[in-house]
Structure 1
Amino acid sequence: MPSAPTGASARLLVAALTSAAVLALAACGGEASAQPTVPAPVTEAPVIEAAKAAPPTPVVPPRWPLTGVAAAGEVPVRPALAVKIENSGEARPQTGLEQADVVWEEVVEGGITRFVAVFHSQVPAEIGPIRSVRPMDPAIASPLHGLIAFSGGQPGFVQALSASGLQILSQDKGAAGFFRKKGVAPAPHNVYGTPETMWGQADGAHSAAPPTQFTVARQAGQATATLSGTPATSVDITMSGYSHPQWAWDAASGTWLRSEGAKPATARSGARLAATNVVALSVRLVNSGTTDPAGNPVPETVLDGSGDGLVATGGKTVAVRWSKAVQDAPVVLTTVGGAPVSLAAGTTWVELVPGSSGSVTPR
């Protein structure tokens, strides 16, 4: 029996066997040569980011439609209440006028002016003195689609108000909410009213909140006059030979303070009459073809078509153009170049200045 290989012989035998094994494997695979196995590349599992949470929807507080001021809660469902307020010397100081959202000033017979004061965001305990209507009141109040309260008026003027789509509350017709106030002035300068009672008479067709009348900037600094106006400390207005309202800028309150001539204008409460915005519109003043009980011609402010104007906001003034397409459409304000005009949020007084005899002078 042959002996087991040892030493070098053993090593040669192992090498021969290994070579034979390699040749055998090659023969089994045909002509293709064996290739080393390449491991698959290692990749990281895709990282799926969690969906980003949507940003919270900003809470936009409701705003009062006539002032643009943010309301503390939901805006109450009530219509605008327009009231004819007297502005003769015997009527001053007026009651509740400082709580109006918008006030329109118009020239009536004798050069005296009268107000259409519009209430919505505030509810005065009482308002007055209340007087009669005039032919331009439908153009002023009908865009509000609400109530108008007055004491007296020529039948044609009252009919025009009724035909304009407003609900009329007339003291002469027995509407509730009117009373004669003692200790203020003799008749006819002593008719006052209770807004709560007047609002309580709104019918179903006149109960909705009023539509916006002017464009209001979301921030005071974005108001048109504030952005591009000319600095002014006062705006002097001539409505007639009798009426010369003046507005002085008060930076502390951020409002324009009203004076009747040189005398500061105050309400019966003692509050100074003031406005965030003063809008002066140049309008035509024509003879209405009627007279008052004393035989004086009753003028009519023509508030349709278009014209020039001025807006005072934030201690600055800017020239504007105004237009009004139809009676129940609001007045639209644009710059001289045609861009929309924005007011600041707050109260607005609108001066209907006769173009042929009045004047508006910023200083």
Structure 2
Amino acid sequence: MTRTRRARALLVLLAVALPLVGCGADEPAPAAAPSTTAAAPTTTAAPSTPASQPVAPLTGLPVAAVDPRPALAVKIENPPIARPQAGLTEADIVWEQLVEGGTSRLVAVYQSRVPASIGPVRSTRPMDPAITAPLHGLFATSGGQVPYLQAVSAAGLQLFSFDAGDDGFARQGPRSAPHNVYLDPAPLYAAADPAHQAPPAAQFGYAPTAGTQTTVVAGAPTARLDLRLSPEAVPSWTWNPLARVWERAEGADPAFAADGVRVAATNVVVLRVEVVETGALDPAGNHVPETLLTGRGGQAVVATAGRTATVTWSKGSDADPVVLTAADGSPVLLAPGTTWVELVPTGSGSVTTVP
């Protein structure tokens, strides 16, 4: 190879080697060119608000969905000859009222549960519209005096009567008339007209969490509640801490339903009420009393969770529910569950709490 050719070859080798200088392990590699693609912005999902749990309107108990049926109020008798009654433990709310002869009669209200048989069913009384009108539902009775029946319809309820020949009523069982009328509720629900098919509004307020019931916040421990509506009607309620219910007794006798289940309630609400004579007579010649509720108010005792609290009650029109107000002016909150409302006369009646 000539000197000129060797020189050219050397120049080529140098040209190839020079770009490699500075790329050894001890030197940093050239920085990569910045990317022209913007990074995707970081997003935070909005916190989801859990849907509120639906509750049964007449018990405040959580349900998967509120049953669309209306409330059904049934007039049930309560003297010794009528006991044990059928369907009593399935009622959401039961009202006990004083009637003629010193005995008591019940208005049992069904919505979340409906038994196959209810009774013995008896006739309506003048205070029934004030009790049941806020439900705007169905009312079942064996019959009654014409003005009382007309008042039920005028209060916005759909009336069903055994005496009128409506379906669902029948005489059955070993008792003699008039203590043997029983009701199958299914035909009444089937006959509900378009204006009486909606579920009722809530009748009482319920505590959202355990420990916020009015009696727990501002009440006193109570083992038993003794009531006197008359010399013949002396129910009592004893707290069962294991079952967490108030168990009913009629005088000294524990109260049971026809199916053998003990009659009990989550809440007992006692309203002190004025009872007056109407001037009307029953078939036996007894004067028919009326409990005054509409446009009235007074003292009340609420029993919940083994405790009682003295509160006040008030009611506007027939269509308005009873309003319970605590001593501090706040709405009374019951425990979710079943409720018995006791209408105890201010004159002849009495309420005794036993610690």
Q: Which residue of 2 aligns with 1:153?
A: 144
Cα distance in structure 2, aligned partners of 1:126 and 1:190: 12
Instruction: State yes or no: 1:53 paired with 2:45.
Output: yes
| CA-CA distance at 1:214 after TM superposition | 0.5
Q: Which range moves more in the overlay, 260-269 or 213-222?
A: 213-222
Is 1:316 matched with 2:303? no
Computing the radius of gyration from Cα coordinates, the structure with the larger value is 1
Give 1:189's aligned amino acid. H
Looking at structure 1, the residues matched to 330 and 209 of structure 2 have their Cα atoms a distance apart, in angstroms, of 18
Match of 1:338 among 319, 329, 332: 329
Q: In the aligned structure 1, how far is the partner of 2:280 from the partner of 2:196?
A: 30
Structure 1 residue runs of 4+, over 4 Å off? 46-49
Secondary structure, aligned partner of 1:110: helix
Q: Which digits, 9 at most, give the CA deviation of each residue in 1:186-216, with x for residues without a partner?
A: 1110000011222111100000000110111
Q: Does 1:191 align with 2:181?
A: yes
User: Identity percentage over the alignment?
Assistant: 53
CA distance in 2, matches of 1:318, 1:238: 18
Aligned with 1:222: secondary structure? coil
Contact 1:219 1:345 in 2 (8 A): no
Query: Could you tell me whether the CA contact under 8 Å between 1:310 and 1:319 is conserved in 2?
Result: yes
Query: Which residue pairs with 2:239 in the alignment?
Result: 249
> Does 2:129 match 1:129?
no
For 1:212 and 1:351, how far apart are their aligned partners in 2? 18
- Alpha-carbon separation, structure 1, partners of 2:273 and 2:42: 64
Distance in structure 1 (CA, Å) of the matches to 2:224 and 2:41: 61
Deviation at 1:298, TM superposition (A): 0.3
Structure 1 position 47, deviation (Å): 9.6
Q: Please say if 1:360 is aligned against 2:337.
A: no
Normalization by structure 1: what TM-score? 0.85
In 1, distance between residues paired with 2:209 and 2:115? Answer: 27
Residue identity in the other structure for 2:109: V
Partner of 2:59: 67
Report the RMSD for the aligned CA atoms in angstroms. 1.3
Which stretches in structure 2 are left out of the alignment for 5+ residues?
1-37
> Is the counterpart of residue 113 in structure 1 residue 104 in structure 2?
yes
Q: Which residue of 2 aligns with 1:272?
A: 262
Per the TM alignment, residue 77 of structure 1 is displaced from its structure 2 partner at its CA by: 1.1
TM-score with structure 2 setting the length: 0.87
Say if 2:325 is the partner of 1:329.
Answer: no
Residue identity matched to 2:280: T
Q: Deviations over 1:93-131 (max 9, x none)?
A: 000000000000000001100000000000101110000
* Match 2:229 to one of 234, 239, 251: 239
The residue type equivalent to 2:198 in the other structure is A
CA distance in 1, matches of 2:267, 2:39: 58
Deviations 1:53-101 (A, max 9, x none): 2223213221100000011x22221110000001011100000000000
1:225 to 208, 212, 215: 215
Deviation per residue, 1:12-65 (Å, 9 max, x gap) = xxxxxxxxxxxxxxxxxxxxxxxxxxxxxxxxxx99972322223213221100
Provide the secondary structure at the position in 1 that maps to 2:133.
helix
Of residues 141, 159, 165, the one that matches 1:174 is 165
Distance 1:334 1:169, change over 3 A: same
Contact map agreement 1:82 1:117 (CA 8 A) in 2: yes
Separation in structure 2 between the aligned mates of residue 199 and residue 360 of structure 1, nearest angstrom: 37
